[in-house]
Structure 1
Amino acid sequence: MQRLALILAAALLAPLHAAQAFDLQGHRGARGLAPENTIAGFARTLAIGVNTLETDIAISRDGVLLISHDPALNPDITRGPDGQFLAARGPVIFHTPWAELQRYDVGRLRPGTRYAGQYPEQQPVDGARLPALAELFDLVKRAGDPRLRLALETKLNPNTPDDTAAPEPFARALVAAVRDAGLATRTSILSFDWRTLQVIQREAPEIPTVYLTARQRWLDNVGRGPATPWTAGFALADHGSVPKMVRAAGGKVWSSFHGDLDAAQVKEAQALGLQVLAWTVNEPAQIEAMLDLGVDGIVSDRPDRVREAMARRGMPLPARIQVAP
């Protein structure tokens, strides 16, 4: 009976989710303006005003769900207990206890790096730590706006399986945390690794799944024909297009790298009943191009710029929320 109730709830919620306003998502908070994936950064993003906070989920050695894009501590943003930036790739999060991870500061970009050069307007927040997912849940609840949503990405790579939890336990742990927080109806779960999304759809039909894709030299999780290790057995050759592939996998939302999108694909996906998101769209010309394509949402390190473009077009804007980190 409980599973039937969840399926019915998902069926009722899906039209509401599909009919919602344009979805402005702050990528890793607002990485262009504040330290990525930090509580201070998320608070800054809420003050800018977004529909959705997008972030990345990892699991520590002792099972704590936490927020980090990288499987190991990134020397471009991480300082050790001595206050110095790490000289090389840091500890793998899945192999490191939560208490040990809390000794590191992730509140500032390393000067002189290419990474720092990409985000010259980011303001540091010294002392920021890798947050537990529970801290983000608390921030969202304190924000007090039931329209605010979360987009949580399971960070796995099938080519480096020892660096993270396996897809099934990872997905189950995340579902349990979201449900325990009472935020299942306000959360989407996304991944490049579609194996976790298949688990979510089976175990938590009330939580929408978002299928991430990139077809670039630096990442191609879709491939050109046969199934790849990322796509849970779904093959482009069997379906003829990425939107049809996502639909066949059971997805409700397709989130594509913006450089892969064109008008025909957006139209096809929407005709299949998919919402189409574009990531990571930061430059004004890119933002305008995605809006011209008619995407249903934009994921951006600069949500302030997306808001400006939306305002010029007379689009409804999400609320600005002031909340202490």
Structure 2
Amino acid sequence: MSLQPLPAARRLTWLRWSCTTAMGLSLWCAGAALAFDVQGHRGARALAPENTLYGFQRALAIGVSTLELDVVLSAEGVPIVSHDTTANPDITRDPSGRWLQSRGQPFHTLTLAQIAALDVGRINPSSRYARDFPQQVAVDGERIPTLAAVLDLVKRQRADHVRFNIELKRNPERPQESPDPEAFVRAVLDVLRTQGMASRTSLQGFDWSLLKIAQRLAPEVPLAFLSAQRPRFNTLRTGAWSGGLREADFKDAPALLATAGARLWSPNFNDIDRKLIERAREEGLRVIPWTVNEVPDMERLIDWGVDGIITDHPERLRVVMEQRGMALPPTVDTAPARQN
């Protein structure tokens, strides 16, 4: 027997509750006419080069409510958009056009000029990555953009309804690959404030120590607490990622999140079930899982009442939502504003 989706009235009630009670969520909710958040993961990674201006344009054209992206710093302390703290050989070619053979120096030791010389417009065809995303269209010459360039792009597109969910990339088990944590957070906040985009942005991270810094420096900016409980990557087990808190010391993950001060939880979608989502509600948490790409998983999670989905396939998610009579985010005519 199929599960029934969360009624629209109940979903809206939850949105109003979270807007009025959760620290830092009032601005998150101000621009959200819909309770369900369609987040394009790294733009639209399954269809276009990840974390590139072209990829974000593709997501806007498909129609998302939020652009999900990742940031690190350059040697000058400028936020740039990259999922990895070092260049990923699966998607990166050097200035001569050759695929990188290994991960090089951390980005925070490279200048903007050195970073801009890297081509991230296609996937290395010999990599597993290429098999995972066979539909991705190559766009040779795409570069790693600065955070400011992404914000400028959305302004030029006049996509005033679109929000940003920015992951602060840092591995606490390899701190040498990242800059000073407070300097990192300050640099990102400076760009958001200069661009007037802080009110349209949430910050997320697996390393909750960065979120604690962000909450202190910008309590008005919503935070999303990422987690993974996979056999090879469990961010709640030792406390290294989760601010010293360990799941073994709590009733369950939602109890740990509540103790950490979370109001928005983004778990790996494989780590949750309907009961755990209900527990999250009891702890006052909104739930937006990552990274959901298959239609049956999208359907199940919507039926369970999640508040949004982070996906490499926003076009698939829109079809699922349309079939359920859910309102869709506007699409954006991106043709006039293409600039690199």
Letter in 2 for 1:118: D
* Residue identity (%): 44
Q: How many residues align?
A: 315
Q: Which residue of 2 aligns with 1:43?
A: 57
Q: Secondary structure at the match of 1:66?
A: strand
Out of 293, 309, 313, the residue aligned to residue 320 of structure 2 is 309
Q: CA RMSD in A?
A: 1.8
Letter in 2 for 1:283: E
1:205 Cα shift?
Answer: 1.0
- Measured in 1, the distance between the counterparts of 2:196 and 2:300 equals 37
- Measured in 1, the distance between the counterparts of 2:32 and 2:154 equals 22
Q: Secondary structure at the match of 2:234?
A: coil
Out of 287, 293, 296, the residue aligned to residue 304 of structure 2 is 293
Deviations 1:290-313 (A, max 9, x none): 112211010000010011101101
With the length of structure 1 as denominator, give the TM-score of the two structures: 0.92
Determine if contact 1:195/1:232 at 8 Å carries over to the other structure: yes
Q: Which residue of 2 aligns with 1:84?
A: 98
Out of 233, 242, 246, the residue aligned to residue 257 of structure 2 is 246
Write the mapping of 1:102-251 to structure 2, written as runs, cut at 5 A: 102-223=116-237, 227-251=238-262
- Measured in 1, the distance between the counterparts of 2:332 and 2:105 equals 35
1:13–1:82 Cα change, 3 Å: closer
Determine if contact 2:24/2:223 at 8 Å carries over to the other structure: no
Q: Secondary structure at the match of 1:269?
A: helix
Deviations 1:216-251 (A, max 9, x none): 02310011xxx5111112332443221122222222
1:213–1:9 Cα change, 3 Å: closer
Q: Secondary structure at the match of 1:244?
A: helix
- Measured in 2, the distance between the counterparts of 1:164 and 1:231 equals 17
1:206 Cα shift?
Answer: 0.9
- Measured in 1, the distance between the counterparts of 2:32 and 2:58 equals 27
Out of 27, 40, 60, the residue aligned to residue 13 of structure 1 is 27
Letter in 1 for 2:43: G
- Measured in 1, the distance between the counterparts of 2:171 and 2:90 equals 21
Q: Which residue of 1 aligns with 2:10?
A: none
Letter in 1 for 2:235: N
Determine if contact 1:25/1:52 at 8 Å carries over to the other structure: yes
1:9 Cα shift?
Answer: 9.7
- Measured in 1, the distance between the counterparts of 2:264 and 2:204 equals 9
- Measured in 1, the distance between the counterparts of 2:245 and 2:31 equals 25
Q: Which residue of 2 aligns with 1:72?
A: 86
- Measured in 2, the distance between the counterparts of 1:65 and 1:11 equals 24
With the length of structure 2 as denominator, give the TM-score of the two structures: 0.88
Determine if contact 1:73/1:92 at 8 Å carries over to the other structure: yes
Determine if contact 2:31/2:161 at 8 Å carries over to the other structure: no
Asked if 1:275 corresponds to 2:286, the answer is yes
Letter in 2 for 1:304: E
Q: Which residue of 2 aligns with 1:4?
A: none
1:127 Cα shift?
Answer: 0.3
Asked if 1:257 corresponds to 2:268, the answer is yes
Letter in 1 for 2:236: V
Q: Which residue of 1 aligns with 2:7?
A: none
1:290–1:110 Cα change, 3 Å: same
Determine if contact 2:236/2:247 at 8 Å carries over to the other structure: yes
Determine if contact 1:18/1:275 at 8 Å carries over to the other structure: no
Letter in 2 for 1:293: W
Determine if contact 2:77/2:184 at 8 Å carries over to the other structure: no
Q: Secondary structure at the match of 1:106?
A: coil
Out of 33, 56, 59, the residue aligned to residue 47 of structure 2 is 33
Deviations 1:164-211 (A, max 9, x none): 113222112211221111111110000000001011111111100000
Letter in 2 for 1:303: P
- Measured in 2, the distance between the counterparts of 1:203 and 1:104 equals 33
Determine if contact 1:24/1:299 at 8 Å carries over to the other structure: yes
Q: Which residue of 2 aligns with 1:322?
A: 333
1:10 Cα shift?
Answer: 4.1
In structure 2, list runs of 5 or more residues that go unmatched. 1-21
Deviations 1:259-297 (A, max 9, x none): 001001111112322110111000112211211221101
Letter in 2 for 1:110: N
